[in-house]
Structure 1
Amino acid sequence: MAKRDPNKTARNKRDVEITGELKALWPTVSADTGIADQQSFNALIGGKAATFIDLKNAVIKSADEYTSLYLSGFKKAREKDGWSAGGSPFSADTLDKNFATLTKSKAVKRYFLLFLQRSFLRHYDELVRERPSTADAEVWIGQNNNDYGILITPRYKNGEWENDQSEIRHFPKLYWTIGHVLSSGLVVQKDPKPLTFATVDDYLQFFMKVLVRPSGSTYEREIAKRYCDYVKAQEKPEDVPLLIPELRYNGKDKKHKYRLDLCIIDPVTLRKVGIELSPWSTHGLLKGTAGKTQKQINEEALANFEKEATKMREYFQKHRITTLIYTDTRLAAIDAVFEEIVVYLGGGNQVSQLEFDLISEFL
Structure 2
Amino acid sequence: MAKRDPKKTRRNKEISNLSAKIKSLLPKILELTGYRNEHSLNATFGGKYAEYIDLKNEVIDTPQQFRSLYLKGFLNTLEELGCSAKPGNKYFDAFSHYRDHEEVREWLHLFLERTYLRNYEELSKVRPTVEESVMWIGQENASYGILVTPRFSNGQWENDKSEIRRFKKTYWTIGHILETGFVVPSEDERITFSDLDQYLSFFKNTLVRNSGSTHEMEFAKRYCEFVKASDNPENVPLLIPEFRYGGLEKKHEYRLDFTVINPYNMTKVGFELSPWSTHGTLTGTKGKLQKEINEEALANFEKEMRKLKSYFRKFGISILVFTDSDLADHDALFESITEYLNVKSSPKQLEFHAMDELLSFEAGSV
TM range (shorter): 0.7 to 0.9
2:136 maps to amino acid? W
CA–CA distance in structure 1, aligned partners of residues 249 and 89 of structure 2: 50
Query: Is 1:259 matched with 2:255?
Result: yes
Q: Quick one: structure 1 residues 268 and 298, their matched pair in 2 at CA, closer, same or farther if it must change by over 3 Å? A: same
Instruction: Report the residue type matching 1:213 in the other structure.
Output: R
- 1:276 alignment counterpart: 272
User: What's the secondary structure of 2:188's corresponding residue?
Assistant: strand
Residues 32 and 104 in structure 1, CA contact (< 8 A), matched pair in contact too: no
Question: Which residue number in structure 2 is paired with residue 109 of structure 1?
Answer: 105
- In structure 1, the gaps of 5 or more residues are 83-91, 355-363
Say which is worse superposed, 174-183 or 142-151, in terms of deviation. Answer: 142-151
- Matched residue count: 343
> How big is the shift at 1:103?
5.2
Cα offset, 1:2, TM superposition: 8.5
> TM-score of the superposition, structure 2-length normalised?
0.86
| TM-superposed deviation, 1:265 | 0.9
* Paired letter, 1:152: V
User: What corresponds to 1:326 in structure 2?
Assistant: 322
Q: Deviations over 1:284-335 (max 9, x none)?
A: 1111101100000000001101111111111111111111111112111111
- Percent identity of equivalent pairs: 52
Q: What does residue 70 of structure 1 align with?
A: 70
Q: In structure 2, what residue type is equivalent to 1:216? A: G
* Distance in 2 separating the partners of 1:255 and 1:118: 52
How do 1:119-198 and structure 2 match up within 5 A?
A: 119-198=115-194
Amino acid of the structure 2 residue aligned with 1:191: E
- Structure 1 residues 219 and 7: CA distance shift in structure 2, 3 A: same
Q: Distance in 2 between matches of 1:42 and 1:252?
A: 48
| Aligned-CA RMSD value | 2.4
* Alignment-mate amino acid for residue 41 of structure 1: L
**Partner AA of 2:260 in structure 1:** I
1:337-356 matches, cutoff 5 A: 337-347=333-343, 350-352=344-346
Describe the superposition over 1:261-294 as per-residue Cα deviations: whole angstroms up to 9, x where unpaired. Answer: 0111111122211110111111111111011000
In 2, the alpha carbon distance for the partners of 1:46 and 1:136 equals 32
| Counterpart residue identity of residue 150, structure 2 | P
The counterpart of 2:197, out of the listed 195, 201, 212, is 201
3-state SS, counterpart of residue 136 of structure 1:
helix
- 8 Å Cα contact 2:312-2:318 kept in structure 1: yes
Structure 1 window deviating more from structure 2 (203-212 vs 4-13): it is: 4-13
Per the TM alignment, residue 74 of structure 1 is displaced from its structure 2 partner at its CA by 2.3
- Deviation readout 1:8-47 (Å, 9 max, x if unpaired): 5554443233212111100111222333432442233332
Residue 89 of structure 1 corresponds to: none
1:59 equivalent to 2:59? Answer: yes
| Structure 1 residue 101, shift from structure 2 partner | 5.6
Shift of 1:53: 0.7
Contact 1:283-1:304 at 8 Å conserved across structures: yes
Structure 1 CA distance for aligned equivalents of residues 226 and 64 of structure 2? 39
Taking the aligned partners of 2:189 and 2:41, their CA distance within structure 1 comes to: 44
Kindly provide the amino acid, as one letter, of the partner of residue 272 in structure 2.
E
Deviation, 1:115, is 0.7
Q: TM-score under structure 1 normalisation? A: 0.87
Displacement, 1:93?
Answer: 4.4
1:351 alignment partner AA: S
Distance (whole Å) between structure 1 residues aligned to residue 194 and residue 314 of structure 2: 34
Q: Find the aligned partners of 1:98 and 1:286 in 2 and give their Cα distance.
A: 75
2:33 is matched with which residue?
33
* 1:243 aligns to 2:247 (yes or no): no
Distance 1:45 1:267 in 2: 33
* Aligned partner letter, 2:66: Y
Instruction: Give 1:301's match in structure 2, choosing from 297, 304, 309.
Output: 297
CA distance in 1, matches of 2:97, 2:247: 51
User: Aligned partners of 1:64, 1:240: CA distance in 2, in Å?
Assistant: 28
Equivalent-residue separation in structure 2 for 1:160 and 1:140 (angstroms): 13
**What is the distance in 2 between the residues matched to 1:338 and 1:206?**
20
Q: Residues 63 and 116 of structure 1 are in contact (CA less than 8 Å); yes or no, is this contact kept in structure 2?
A: yes
| 2:220 matches 1:224 | yes
CA deviations on 1:326-356 (whole Å, 9 max, x unpaired) are 1112111111111112221112xx43359xx
- Map of 1:16 onto structure 2: 16
Aligned partners of 2:46 and 2:108 also within 8 Å: no
